[in-house]
Structure 1
Amino acid sequence: MKSRILFTVLIFLSTLTFAQKMGKKNLEQRVAAIEDKMAIKYVVDEFSNLADTKEIEKQVMLFTEDGEVVSISGGKPSTPLKGRKQLQQAFSAFLSNFHTVYHQNAQQTIDLQGDKAEATSYCRVILVGNQNGKESKTTLYTIYKDSFVKENGKWWIKHRTSNFVHREQVDL
């Protein structure tokens, strides 16, 4: 009985906290915010799915026409990739090194700012292929920092920073 009461109190407090974060927004505004966050999560997940199936032409269409990607590896940023054509060339070249690509998306936070949004998403990327003449598996622990824009009712990635914070490689 005590655990039920405790559970009920915890649910009440978490609901109250969520409601406080929503401020004085009406139901329609709150539903719209939830829909926007779900749409942004879909874009991030779809990016990963399309990378896994190597559908790069579709993947780059998740970016604005002038979308930009900067990768950070070992604490050092790369030269920014700008525009869908450059993104497609770079993504295709990178993924051609691997026969198996697998993204596992985890926690995500989204800060909505009208028709713009900032998101942080954590991802583990597993890549299997021939590296230096040996079959190997590379695991990348990645934090994506994304800027989104909403145009004509659809969310697009405007800028992505891919921070590869840790890399593990094992021969198979």
Structure 2
Amino acid sequence: MDHKELADTIALRALIDKISMLGDKKDFVHQTELFSENAISETVAGGKIILKLEGRKEMAEAFEKFLKDFDTVYHFNGQQTVRINGDTATGSCYCFITLIGDENGKKIKTTVGATYEDEYIRVNGQWLVSKRVGNFNWQDKAAINY
């Protein structure tokens, strides 16, 4: 791996982590700025597309609506592989998502095992996500105590 490919690999990992951290902070405006202008985001559960979004504005609104009732949003990114081809790239990343909110008067923790299949594009020297398919592979819910 040459220096440029190594630098791009590190930059793509930083991009994925920053997207997750901004989502955890519910900073959807800055989060969606890390996607290309007309990016596509799809969410898949049970082998079916349950949500398809296009563009930053639509994504920010949908992310906010989905996460508004959760007190805590926490993404933990794991393994990531990328394949770089000039100013485009593809990648896969494992993610462990924890969501905590109230349901029927109880604190409920929802844990999701997800994988993201991403397409990236370099725009003005910065890597952005141009397409993301989030596969929600499994989910577990449990009551918790603080």
Query: In the TM superposition, what are the counterparts of 1:157-168 in structure 2 within 5 Å?
Result: 157-168=129-140
Name the structure 1 match of 2:26.
Answer: 54
Of 88, 106, 129, which residue of structure 2 is paired with 1:134? 106
Moved over 2 A (4+): 131-134
Structure 2's unaligned 5+ residue stretches are none
Does the Cα contact within 8 Å between 2:111 and 2:141 map onto a contact in 1?
yes
Q: Report how far residue 131 of structure 1 moved.
A: 2.5
Query: In the TM superposition, what are the counterparts of 1:61-72 in structure 2 within 5 Å?
Result: 61-72=33-44
Q: Larger % of strand: which?
A: 2
The change in CA–CA distance for 1:77 and 1:132 in structure 2 (over 3 A counts) is farther
Q: Report how far residue 78 of structure 1 moved.
A: 2.3
Of 16, 40, 49, which residue of structure 2 is paired with 1:44? 16
Is 1:146 the counterpart of 2:118? The answer is: yes
Name the structure 1 match of 2:48.
Answer: 76
TM-score (norm 2): 0.95
TM-score (norm 1): 0.81
Is 1:89 the counterpart of 2:61? The answer is: yes
Sequence identity of aligned pairs in percent?
Answer: 37
Instruction: Look at both structures and tell me which one has the larger radius of gyration over its CA atoms.
Output: 1
**Structure 1: distance between partners of 2:106 and 2:46:** 23
Q: Report how far residue 130 of structure 1 moved.
A: 1.1
Q: Quick one: higher RCO (CA 8 Å, sep 6+), 1 or 2?
A: 2
Deviates more, 1:156-165 or 1:68-77: 68-77
Name the structure 2 match of 1:156.
Answer: 128
Of 87, 99, 107, which residue of structure 1 is paired with 2:79? 107
